[in-house]
Chains A and B, each alone.
Chain A
Amino acid sequence: MDKKLVRALKEVIREEIIKKNTVEIEGLGRFEVIHQKQHQKKLADGQVLMMPPRDNVIFTPEDPETR
């Protein structure tokens, strides 16, 4: 049962995140998808790279104090 739930939870969150939805879990936090535009990155040795655009998943933990 437990594993089933974990698996289901994983699937659900994965799906929602791929759809770019924000998933909130009480007591835990929030999973968000943030879009990062393409930008230039300067390395220490003078190399400059153009980084492609990306969608990143970020997790913001729920503040335990507010609960």
Chain B
Amino acid sequence: MKVDQQKLTEILANKSGLEPESVKNQLDELVARIKSAAEKGKALEIKGFGMFYFRENSELTFDPSDDLQTEINYKYAGMEPVEIKKPFEAPEKSVREKESDSAEDQIPDQISGLNADESSSPEPEKTEWPVESENEKTGSTESRDKNKDSEQIKSGLKNRDDSGMSKKHGNRAIRNRGPKKRENSVTIVMTAIVVILAVISVLILVLDREFMGNIFNSGRVQEVTQMNPEQEETDPAADEDASVPGAEETSDSLLADSDADTETETAAGWPDREQPLPPAIEEVDLSGQPANEPYGLYGTAGTVEDPYYSIILHSIRGEDRAEEIREELQNEGYRTVITSVNHEEMGLMWRVGLGQFESIPDAQNAAADLPKTYRDNNFIGIVR
């Protein structure tokens, strides 16, 4: 929000109890005072506020006083600058001395033959320190090489990085070593995990593909073997009965019993749906029954006195349309029935159903044999 001159005068008048005009005059006076003081080279200080002064480029400037600054920043009171990275001069010396000390300790464990040589080397390092601080590059590379050999840093990458950096950054490279050691080991572990996961996922993919391939192959083979016997059956049936036995001998045992049906098979290839299904399948199918029985899915609808169950496919209002659907389904070979039901909300509904069954389980079993479109979209209804 902006406080302009007018508003300022208002507030000032309220606060000081003076009249607005008087306030305005005095304000102008004050401004003039500040400016004149600044031009003379003096700075005007208002206690508890700040200082007005003229900068070199003859610009009027103001510095807020410390009190004012603290009060403005009361929200952030107590927040001090946080050190993220240490300076690399003094602390590094102690770090490097420590490193060279540890090098001395490690060497006896690892390189036995060179004890005498190595023990003498750190000393020149230490003494070389103040001298070589001038030639940072050379000093750091030399000492770093020795440290490399002795300390056996974990990753080869890190060595490369250090040697590369030494040419550019000198001391900084050594300073970065400390925390980098830990960081590098962590990154190595993480990359290893990622690689392992990638390998596992690739293996899974490859194995899956193999399995899929097998499934496809076996499926196709089965289909082909089933098709062939059927074709052999129907074609000879249409042409000559004599060739049928020959074809049958080679066909599946499943279809071998359909002898009786071959004579009545039409040229279309599929057995006429109005006839019962082949016996082999008939044994499994509970609904496949001759047309003259009261219950069943196929054939013509018989008059059944007791209430029976039916697989309801459609429930619509129009009687004519229901009749049309019924005829279509009947042509497909199903036993169809139409019933009318007075629905609570919908009124008089005409239901077109397939089959007549004694019980709900019978109807459900029969429904399982229907084509997918009917199977997925039906309910079992009772017909009285």
> Contact partner of B85 among A22, A33, A48, A59, CB < 8 A?
A48
Chain A hits for B15, CB < 8 A:
8, 11-12
- Closest chain B CB from A29 CB (angstroms): 7
Chain B positions within 8 Å of A53 at CB level:
76, 79
Chain A 26-57 interface mask (CB, 8 Å, partner B; 1/0)? 11110101000000110101111111111111
Q: Please tell me the number of chain B residues within 8 Å of chain A, measured between CB atoms.
A: 52
List which B1-52 residues lie within 8 A (CB) of chain A.
Answer: 1-5, 8, 11-12, 15-16, 18, 22-23, 26-32, 34-35, 46-50
Q: Is the CB of A52 within 8 A of B81?
A: yes
Are A47 and B72 in contact, with the CB atoms below 8 A? no
A1 to B206 Cα, complex, angstroms:
93
Is B266 an interface residue when CB atoms closer than 8 A count as contact? no
Provide the residues of chain A in CB contact with B61, threshold 8 Å.
Answer: 59, 61
- Are B31 and A24 neighbours in the complex by a CB distance under 8 Å? no
- Which single member of B4, B22, B84 contacts A48 (CB below 8 Å)? B84
Q: Which residues of A contact B26 (CB under 8 A)?
A: 1-2, 5
Cross-chain contact B81 with A25 (CB below 8 angstroms) = no
Interface residue SS majority, chain A = mixed
Q: Which residue of B lies closest to A10 (CB)?
A: B49
**Bound Cα distance from A66 to B72, whole angstroms:** 31
Q: For B22, list chain A residues within 8 Å (CB).
A: 1
Pick from A10, A19, A28: contact of B31, CB below 8 A. Answer: A28
Are B83 and A5 within 8 A (Cβ)? Answer: no
Q: Are A24 and B2 in contact (CB under 8 A)?
A: yes
30 A-B residue pairs with Cβ-Cβ distance under 8 Å, sorted by A, are A1-B22, A5-B23, A6-B30, A8-B15, A10-B46, A12-B15, A13-B49, A14-B68, A17-B68, A18-B71, A21-B3, A24-B4, A25-B8, A26-B5, A33-B72, A45-B89, A46-B88, A46-B172, A47-B85, A47-B86, A47-B87, A48-B85, A50-B81, A51-B81, A52-B80, A55-B72, A55-B75, A57-B64, A57-B72, A61-B61
